[in-house]
């Protein structure tokens, strides 16, 4: 059964067609990799899915309902969480607070709780967040300010923040770019673990073709806003059009 | 020594024994002040208490939510005149005070709406417009401002056998303590976390499910509620109101207090309030120098200590804790 259905998605900025008539269908509990050269519309696709951009034409169906015109926070409430390509963390908060903000939607927002310092909600969510801290190995950075943490840790905090939302669909925008070889392997392992442990469907944008094809069940190649190929990683990598897009004509 | 054993313990307001000790000592010193301090000092501290409420509100908006507002004089005037008129109509003081806060909060919501679209300097100009508009309305409307004679507000009677100055002192000490507690509680809850998230990165805050519309408006409403209360208390203290008390200079004072005290810090807000009240006292022979001192203070603070007095205080505390090791 497909969790996310993208139909004829089209968006243009001025004269540039960032996405034109993209059709996609993501099955539940699968990992779909999205590849493509720079400027091919991968991040734009994510921005359309999370409500940061609103597409000109086409529709996005999540669990059968259109989320096309919803605002980002409503989409998050539907169960879609994302990470950003260039980290967008709350730099002056501690790691713990960043993760707790990911739980924002699940807090009981009784106005009397903050006013009279009733902390049972905080404690309940703290316990849940500690699970993520263990899972992502962030214990040492729990109360450190995020801006003081190394890049690899920041990347993990952002992943953790998205996980804290307990989404049904997780959008990862280049989760392993800029990491060392060792961290890459670790993150790749985490991504497969996430699917198993949290039952999430994952959409993955990645430039590292070797790791992307190892992680994904299906793969989609975008090129100048158009879908070039779709299939298993092996099929997509062998597709002559994809090879031409990446390497140019001979 | 201070091993934390449960999440609950970590979320306590006062985590360490010595912090609690010093706070209680300070509170005792403040409660006993009328016995050993001069009456003049009691009055000055009353002013600081009143001012610190408004500065906390402004800090919630500027320091925590990252939204700028130059319309505080407007909220101050709204709170003060609401309070004044209600008391003249015979409403009890505490109810009038609450209404003063609520009216200011209502207008805060209205002023908050531009903040959904505008950022930085544009928002500053829009809110500045509001502050000046409120001032002009009060100047030109005799019904609202009480006309040429101003608006006399009935003062607080001397209670419990205290002198009037001391009654005011304790009343405002109580309220300032209450509002400080509320500030601490708010910022350490989901509310404060959402505010800080909006300041640090509004796009990802929204993507994490924080409704920007609701929380930005809420920040404006809470901030102007505080300012409205400050206005009401001001009216109660002075017993007399006229529009000229709420010029742009009043906005500037609040702004200076936030910057000097330290952005995103409740203790800083109180220190900043003390600064803004004490400077005119120190320069009472040269009143024209006060704005100059404010200006120079802002420049020096921004260059040498961007976290303001509270940042300096943290450093001193760290130094003392480490002493004699550096």
pLDDT tens-place string over residues A25-47: 999 889 999 998 888 888 999 99
Lowest mean pLDDT among A98-107, B104-113, B314-323: B314-323
Residue A233 is part of which domain span? 1-79+169-178+200-250
Work out the mean pLDDT of chain B and round it to a whole number. Answer: 87
On the question of pLDDT at B157 being above 90, the answer is no
User: Stretch A59-83: mean pLDDT, rounded?
Assistant: 91
Same domain, A114 and A143: yes
Q: Is B200 at the interface with chain A, CB within 8 A?
A: yes
Beta bridge partners of A226: A223
End-to-end CA distance of chain A: 41
Task: List CB contacts (< 8 A) between B4 and chain A.
Answer: none
Same domain, A91 and A114: yes
Q: Is residue A110 part of a domain?
A: yes
Q: Is residue A187 part of a domain?
A: no
On the question of pLDDT at B10 being above 90, the answer is no
Number of other CB atoms surrounding residue B136 within 10 Å: 11
State the pLDDT at residue A201.
92
Q: Name the residue among A52, A113, A126 with its Cβ closest to that of B203.
A: A52
Pairing of strands A218-223, A226-231: antiparallel
Which of A166, A186, A221 terminates a domain? The answer is A166
Tens of pLDDT, residues B122-150: 988 888 888 888 888 888 887 777 767 77
Question: Rounded distance, CA B236 to CA B240, Å?
Answer: 8
A161: nearest CA partner in chain B: B208
State the pLDDT at residue B59.
92
Please tell me whether residue B1 adopts helix, strand or coil conformation: coil
Are the beta carbons of B269 and B56 closer than 8 angstroms?
Answer: yes
On the question of pLDDT at B213 being above 70, the answer is yes
Q: Do the chains contact at A97 and B193, CB–CB below 8 Å?
A: yes
Question: Rounded distance, CA B62 to CA B60, Å?
Answer: 6
Q: Is residue A193 part of a domain?
A: no
Question: Rounded distance, CA A153 to CA A165, Å?
Answer: 19
Q: Which residue has the higher pLDDT, B3 or A23?
A: A23
Question: Rounded distance, CA B73 to CA B259, Å?
Answer: 17
Which of A120, A143, A166 terminates a domain? The answer is A166
Work out the mean pLDDT of chain A and round it to a whole number. Answer: 89
Q: What is the CATH number of the domain that holds A74?
A: 3.40.50.300
On the question of pLDDT at B55 being above 90, the answer is yes
Lowest mean pLDDT among A59-68, B6-15, B222-231: B6-15
Q: Is residue A190 part of a domain?
A: no
User: Stretch B73-102: mean pLDDT, rounded?
Assistant: 90
On the question of pLDDT at B239 being above 70, the answer is yes
Angle at B179 between CA B174 and CA B184, to 5 degrees: 130
Residue A236 tokens, joined: 């997509």
- Chain B contacts in chain A segment 143-202 (CB below 8 A): 161, 165
Question: Rounded distance, CA B42 to CA A122, Å?
Answer: 40
Q: What percent of chain B has pLDDT over 90?
A: 32
User: Stretch B239-262: mean pLDDT, rounded?
Assistant: 86
Same domain, A58 and A100: no
On the question of pLDDT at B50 being above 90, the answer is yes
Are the beta carbons of B227 and B62 closer than 8 angstroms?
Answer: no
Tens of pLDDT, residues A129-165: 999 999 999 999 988 999 999 999 999 999 999 999 9
Question: Rounded distance, CA A143 to CA A138, Å?
Answer: 10
Report CA-CA distances (Å) from A54 to A20, A44, B211.
Answer: 14, 10, 17
Please tell me whether residue A155 adopts helix, strand or coil conformation: helix
User: Stretch A194-201: mean pLDDT, rounded?
Assistant: 89
DSSP B155-173: PPPP-TT--HHHHHHHHHH
Q: How many CB pairs under 8 A join A and B?
A: 102
State the pLDDT at residue B288.
85
Q: What is the ipTM of this complex?
A: 0.90
Task: Give the HSE-up count for residue A41: Cα atoms under 13 Å, Cβ half-sphere.
Answer: 26
Q: Do the chains contact at A89 and B7, CB–CB below 8 Å?
A: no
Q: Do the chains contact at B186 and A114, CB–CB below 8 Å?
A: yes
Q: Do the chains contact at A73 and B193, CB–CB below 8 Å?
A: no
Same domain, A61 and A20: yes
User: Stretch A185-194: mean pLDDT, rounded?
Assistant: 90
Q: Is residue A73 part of a domain?
A: yes
Are the beta carbons of B197 and A92 closer than 8 angstroms?
Answer: no
Closest by CA position to B264, among listed B306, B209, B318:
B306
Q: Name the residue among B189, B196, B208 with its Cβ closest to that of A92.
A: B196
Q: Do the chains contact at A109 and B185, CB–CB below 8 Å?
A: no
Instruction: Report the number of distinct structural domains present in chain A.
Output: 2
Question: In Å, how far is B51's CA from the nearest CA of chain A?
Answer: 21
Residues 6 or more apart from B51 whose CB is under 8 A from it?
B230, B253, B257, B273, B276, B277
On the question of pLDDT at B171 being above 70, the answer is yes
Are the beta carbons of B259 and B298 closer than 8 angstroms?
Answer: yes
Task: Give the HSE-up count for residue A240: Cα atoms under 13 Å, Cβ half-sphere.
Answer: 2
Q: Is residue A213 part of a domain?
A: yes
On the question of pLDDT at B1 being above 60, the answer is no
Q: Which residue has the higher pLDDT, B37 or A161?
A: A161
């Amino acid at each position: 059964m497909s969790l996310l259905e993208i139909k004829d998605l089209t968006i243009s900025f001025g004269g540039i067609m960032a996405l034109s008539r993209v059709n996609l269908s993501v099955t539940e509990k699968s990992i779909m990799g999205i590849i493509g050269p720079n400027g091919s519309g991968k991040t734009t696709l994510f921005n359309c899915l999370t409500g940061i951009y609103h597409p000109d034409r086409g529709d996005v169906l999540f669990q059968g309902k259109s989320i096309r015109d919803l605002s980002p926070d409503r989409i998050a409430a539907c169960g879609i969480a994302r990470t950003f390509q260039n980290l967008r963390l709350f730099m002056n908060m501690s790691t713990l607070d960043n993760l707790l903000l990911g739980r924002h939607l699940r807090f009981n927002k009784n106005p009397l709780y903050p006013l009279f310092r009733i902390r049972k909600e905080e404690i309940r969510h703290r316990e849940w967040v500690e699970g993520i801290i263990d899972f992502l190995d962030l214990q040492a950075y729990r109360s450190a300010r995020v801006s003081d943490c190394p890049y690899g840790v920041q990347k993990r905090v952002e992943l953790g923040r998205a996980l804290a939302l307990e989404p049904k669909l997780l959008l990862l925008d280049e989760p392993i770019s800029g990491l060392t070889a060792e961290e890459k392997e670790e993150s790749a392992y985490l991504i497969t673990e996430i699917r198993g442990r949290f039952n999430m469907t994952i959409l993955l944008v990645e430039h590292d073709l070797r790791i992307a094809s190892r992680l994904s069940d299906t793969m989609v190649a975008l090129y100048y806003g158009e879908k070039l190929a779709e299939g298993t990683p092996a099929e997509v990598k062998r597709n002559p059009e994809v090879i031409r897009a990446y390497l140019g004509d001979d | 020594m201070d091993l934390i054993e449960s999440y609950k313990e970590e979320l306590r307001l006062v985590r360490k024994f010595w912090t609690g000790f010093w706070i209680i000592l300070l509170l005792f010193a403040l409660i006993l002040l009328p016995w050993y301090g001069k009456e003049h000092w009691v009055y000055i501290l009353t002013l600081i208490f009143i001012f610190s409420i408004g500065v906390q509100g402004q800090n919630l908006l500027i320091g925590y939510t990252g939204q700028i507002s130059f319309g505080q004089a407007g909220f101050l005037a709204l709170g003060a005149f609401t309070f004044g008129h209600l008391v003249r109509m015979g409403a009890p003081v505490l109810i009038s005070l609450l209404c003063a806060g609520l009216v200011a909060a209502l207008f805060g919501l209205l002023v908050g709406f531009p903040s959904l679209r505008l950022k930085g300097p544009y928002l500053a100009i829009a809110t500045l417009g509001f502050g000046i508009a409120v001032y002009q309305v009060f100047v030109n409307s005799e019904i609202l401002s009480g006309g040429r004679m101003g608006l006399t507000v009935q003062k607080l009677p001397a209670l419990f056998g205290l002198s009037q100055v001391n009654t005011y002192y304790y009343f405002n000490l109580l309220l300032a303590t209450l509002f400080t507690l509320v500030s601490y509680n708010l910022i350490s809850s989901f509310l404060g976390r959402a505010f800080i998230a909006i300041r640090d990165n509004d796009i990802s805050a929204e993507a994490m499910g924080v409704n920007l519309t609701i929380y930005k408006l809420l920040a404006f409403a809470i901030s102007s509620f505080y300012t409205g209360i400050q206005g009401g208390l001001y009216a109660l203290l002075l017993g007399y109101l006229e529009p000229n008390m709420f010029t742009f200079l009043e906005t500037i004072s609040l702004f200076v207090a936030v910057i000097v005290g330290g952005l995103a810090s409740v203790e800083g807000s109180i220190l900043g309030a003390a600064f803004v009240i004490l400077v005119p006292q120190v320069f009472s022979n040269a009143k024209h120098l006060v704005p100059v001192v404010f200006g120079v203070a802002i420049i020096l603070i921004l260059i040498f200590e961007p976290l303001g007095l509270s940042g300096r205080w943290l450093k001193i505390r760290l130094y003392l804790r480490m002493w004699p090791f550096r």
